[in-house]
Amino acid sequence: MPPSSSSVRTPPVAPGEAATLEQWLDYLESIHPTEIELGLDRVLLVLRRLFPRKPNARIITVAGTNGKGSTVAALEALLMRAGRRTGAYTSPHLHRYNERVRIAGIDIDDDGLIRAFNAVEQARKNVSLTYFEFGTLAAFVAFAEAGVEDWILEVGLGGRLDAVNVLDADFAIITSIDIDHVAFLGDDREVIGFEKAGILRPGIPAVFADDAPPRSVLQQVHAQRVALSRLGEDYTIRQIPESNTGELVLNYRGETLRMPDGPLPVKSIAAAVVAVRTLEPELPVSVVEQALAELSLPGRFETISSSPRVIVDVGHNPHAAGWLASQLGRLRAPDGKVFAVFAALGDKDVEGVARALAPEVDEWFIAPLDVPRGLGVDALAQRLEAAGLPAVHRCQSVEEALDQARQAASEPDLIIATGSFYTVGQARTALKKNAS
């Protein structure tokens, strides 16, 4: 018996060019039955309708467990200094979807996004795309329309089957490999390494930004004869002993270059420098050093308030939390405390993140995330208790948690708001509102 008419799902109707960006984003969330579905078949079909031939641009693809956003930001800044017209595609965003698509260093406007969304809609016809796949193709359309020369593409999840990987990279960077997205990528570095190495292409240059690549990555490098630059072998980073300003020295191909020791992950920034020295060797070292000195990225170990100092960081897995703990350890005053404002998603290794941060955190102020996959405050408290943490302060929102932490803190103390992009976005909004 056919289903009754009341049980038949009416297909959503595309908003059209006259619609708002919010209407388009609501539509993107409604057209595919699942939020994430790895695979390239569907997105490749639509790509070929939009781009019968490979775009006339240099494709730089960035994969990794952590540090991708910092690498993209450094690539973007350096290539712009070299006179290149850049496009950067990243995810997720902190406040507005427009942050995901930057052209020449500027977030795309609503009209540009809507034009790109409409072009993808016309091309996809009856092909179902996820929110991320649709947005990825729209970024490609926007870059082509703007005449972008360098497409800097951050992988959303994994690498081999991520929508970004539908385009063949001309240069690839793998920042780090650790455990995250276990349901999709597995819980083994070798397996995850194989997935991330899927962005490599035969004969292209690439960088591995850490000093311990899994065998699975090196096997792919060898099989495809990739010209790989490895930290510790092809380039090195060392502290300047006499420096009182936190400077490091990067050595690559007989060249010495100074770079700041933070606030962004130095291995990610170094990988971007190696990539740009390979792609644009004529760019003066002095210009590179100046660009790095001015580099910052919202939500990445970002100081957003003082007295006491409030820092936000989007770290949401144990590897990122370990790096964050090391940075806090360097910053905290001998007589100061660290207060954590913490909220997280339920499908993350919350216990692992908490254990990584615990040696540097004196008190925890936890809050719920009222978003898909977000943990309520009671569930979060249970997860932290399972990680062996002492009693926590339960708050009703990230804003309330920030307020309580600031009331508890004194001048030498640090407050870190972390756990997810949502946590950081809400913390930044709350602090800006209080400052106005």
pLDDT digits (tens, 9 = 90+) for 247-303: 899 999 999 999 999 889 999 999 999 999 999 999 999 999 999 999 999 999 999
203-215 average pLDDT score: 95
Residues 40 and 178 in one domain: yes
Helix (H, G, I), strand (E, B) or coil at 186: coil
Distance CA 247, CA 261 (A): 5
Residues 83 and 204 in one domain: yes
> For position 1, what pLDDT does the model report?
38
Residues 321 and 282 in one domain: no
327-347 average pLDDT score: 95
Residue 271 lies in a domain: yes
**Which CATH number do you get for residue 319?**
3.90.190.20
Half-sphere exposure of 15 (CA within 13 A, CB side): 22
Residues 218 and 308 in one domain: no
Closest CA to 206 of 271, 110, 130, 281: 271
Residues 310 and 255 in one domain: no
Last residue of a domain, one of 259, 293, 327: 293
Residues 258 and 112 in one domain: yes
Residue 77 lies in a domain: yes
Last residue of a domain, one of 293, 310, 341: 293
Residues 163 and 54 in one domain: yes
Residue 25 lies in a domain: yes
Last residue of a domain, one of 239, 262, 293: 293
Residues 258 and 314 in one domain: no
Residues 257 and 323 in one domain: no
Residue 5 lies in a domain: no
362 is in which domain, residue-wise?
302-435
Residue 8 lies in a domain: no
Whether pLDDT at 94 is above 80: yes
Whether pLDDT at 309 is above 90: yes
Half-sphere exposure of 138 (CA within 13 A, CB side): 30
Domain total of the chain: 2
Single pTM value for the model:
0.93
Residues 228 and 331 in one domain: no
Instruction: Give the tens place of pLDDT for each residue, 230-260.
Output: 999 999 999 887 655 678 999 999 999 999 9
Distance CA 271, CA 209 (A): 5
Residues 270 and 330 in one domain: no
Residues 124 and 149 in one domain: yes
